[in-house]
Chain A
Amino acid sequence: MNDPDFITPLSLRSRRVLVTGAASGIGRAACELLSRLEARIVAVDIDEAALNGAVQGLAGEGHAQCCFDVGDVERIPGWMADVAQKGGPLFGVVHAAGLSCVQPLRLLSPAAYRKVLLLNTEAALALARGFHKKAVGDAAGGSIVFISSVMASAGAPGAAAYAMSKAALHGLTRSLAMELAPGKIRVNCVAPGFVRTPMFDRMSAPWDAAQLARVEEDHPLGLGAPADVANSIAFLLADTGRWITGSVLTVDGGYTAH
């Protein structure tokens, strides 16, 4: 039964993966799982103290960390070139950094929705641009995973800015998948339901028990954990997803099955 030559297709041995939003929530869970799959992580976050803690918990070695604001989209390609020059080319990119926004339309200012678009969408595009540059992405090919949301396909009052930013990722995923396939770069997206993360805690802090119960009931399998989404990220990044590109993988405990 045991084949000594068998290597699980989930293995990311020695592959270098850059993860944004690495200090908490889905990004942190992704870093932890990918490191256990033997990837070398470049953990990126704006919160340096939290990032230090996250990197200390990683398995294996050869990891790096960068305190960088991915909202600074103009600088992303140059910064990624620097990351690759210092530590070697990247096999993968996971864009888990993001900003939530719950505001009624009449209060939604251009400044507010542009900030959401900047972090959730424009940063994703800039990361793909940086990854595609010569000597940044691995010459043998690579894999990009964006984190979207069920809000991209299921509407909710007050979610216009967030939904717009995440729905745009779906179009971005498909177009980049077509454009980058000749270079053997795959581009996919994970669309989670509500996951118990610090972002969710901040968003749900004002809710009363009844509101929280309603959101939980909308997920037949209950609210998700960051590790549930990390599993899908690993699946798409690794060779388990080697024939998958341009897809949006829904990971939502049944939220959109209604």
Chain B
Amino acid sequence: MDDFYTKLAEILEVDRVAADDVLSEFEYWDSLTVLSVLAMLDSGYGVNLTAANLRELKQAGELAAVVESRKRK
């Protein structure tokens, strides 16, 4: 899932994202960023989540686990 963290870092405009980083604490974590993350999950992994689903996940690692379990095989 290194690729996932790289894409997430790109959207959040930070050098790197770690599994224990809290999503809502990133400077650019706003509604448009959420939409961008959802679009990336859909186009990159075939994972469809809603903004509400995403808000239930606290850390980047939790999101990675959801993507890992649901991604296109």
Contact = CB atoms under 8 A, between A and B. Distances in A.
Interface of A: 102-104, 106-107, 157-158, 205-209, 211
A206 B51 contact: yes
Place the interface of chain B in its size category: 10 to 19
B31 to A, nearest CB: 8
Nearest to A204: B50
Contacts of A157: 31-32
A206 B50 contact: yes
Contacts of A107: 11, 36
B49 to A, nearest CB: 7
Contacts of B64: none
Interface string B26-40: 001001111110110
Contacts of B24: none
B51 A207 contact: yes
Interface string B51-69: 1100000000000000000
A208 B50 contact: yes
B32 A104 contact: yes
A209 B42 CA distance: 19
